Amino acid sequence: MKPAISVIVPIYNIEKYIRRALDSILAQTFSNFELLLIDDGSTDSCKEICDEYGNKHQHIRVFHKENGGLSSARNYGLERALGEYTIFFDPDDWVEPQCLEELYSIAEKTKADVVMCAIYYNDKYRQTYSSQRPSSTQARDVLKDLITGGIGCFTVNKLIRRMCYVKYNISYPFGIYGREDQYAICNLFKNDIKIAYTPRAYYHYVQYPHSLSRFYDEETLQMDIRTRDMFVELFADTEYKELVDREKTKSIISRAYLFGEHVYNSRQFQKRFGQYQSLFMKGQEPRYMTFLYYMAFHGYYRLSKKLFNIGFQTKQACKKGFKCLHILKNK
């Protein structure tokens, strides 16, 4: 008998966290699922850990492949999945025991092609609930929410009917590092699919300290521009083309602002991005960020980033303080 759900976990050099992720999946109250572990050429002990779990549990299938990147691993898993529905989990997060049972129950009752749920953001100091509630369950409305960032383009909180990938020729693209999920999910929601939503959170999305700043350079900028162009092409035949162009351009500049201080001085940032300041002056950003962007666009990027970093560090200190107070209060 074919499983109801295929859980696909792409894995690459994540030995520190993978056992927690796999144990949470194996603790599910729902049993009619298969677990596909796609080892994408790991060079740490992930290969042995995957084999260990595969040898212990009959419903785990382990695949070892040459490293091809996240999209390659996801597509590889989809091609081998047998379940009526699929869901991707990341190997450094974890899930609540009721996750699969509840999402599949909703799918069965509503005959939905996609079931979405809320998530928890977990960092070093606290856990934060994020509803991920769409403005409606109509595919076109959800698509707009995805484009504008109203909800996240995660795959980890979306149970998706496997045949939708086949019917609409959906795959995870190459060449847009960090935006693979968004592209595939937006491509899916362009179609007339049935969507259901639950406000209950079953997935714990762990936020680790940013390392992207170490890698941001001119090549990163060019990759971001190529990514924007791919999205604009994807939406070329829709009413959202201009919206996508605007939002992706904002995303390019935001990333340059956040991680480009070792690449651009104040004059270079102004010359490169100053022409786009109108995108950030329409009241959609928090007031303090509008002010900081205004400074950067007018030749004070380095000072703007210093103020931003002070604010970020203060926020992190407050988080740590609240956590300490919570611990003391409960002693």
Which pLDDT score, from 0 to 100, does residue 124 have? 79
Which domains are seen in the chain, by residue range? 5-206 (3.90.550.10), 213-318 (no CATH)
pLDDT at 284 over 60: yes
Query: What is the DSSP code string of 105-151?
Result: HHHHHHT-SEEEEEEEEE-SS-EEEE----S-SSHHHHHHHHHHTSS
Mean pLDDT for 230-254 is 93
Which pLDDT score, from 0 to 100, does residue 315 have? 66
Which pLDDT score, from 0 to 100, does residue 213 have? 45
Reported as a pLDDT band with limits 50, 70 and 90, residue 53 is very high
pLDDT at 129 over 90: yes
Which pLDDT score, from 0 to 100, does residue 176 have? 77
3-state helix, strand, coil in the chain (%, to 5): 50, 15, 35
Token pair 């190459």 is at which residue? 174
**Amino acid letter for position 179:** R
pTM of the model: 0.86
Q: Tell me the C-alpha distance between 180 and 168, whole Å.
A: 17
pLDDT at 44 over 90: yes
Mean pLDDT for 293-302 is 95
Cβ(36)–Cβ(7) under 8 Å? yes
Two tokens, residue 326: 């919570």
Which pLDDT score, from 0 to 100, does residue 149 have? 87
- Reduced to 3 states (helix: H, G, I; strand: E, B; else coil), residue 266 is helix
Mean pLDDT for 258-280 is 93
pLDDT at 133 over 50: yes
**Amino acid letter for position 306:** K
Buried-exposed string 267-288: b where 16+ CB fall within 10 A, e elsewhere: eebbebbeeebebbeeeebeee
Neighbours of 15 (CB within 10 A): 16
The H or E element that residue 293 is part of is helix 287-297
The values of phi and psi at residue 6, to 5°, are: -105, 115
Query: What is the DSSP code string of 52-84?
Result: HHHHH-TTEEEEE-----HHHHHHHHHHH--SS
DSSP state of 26: H
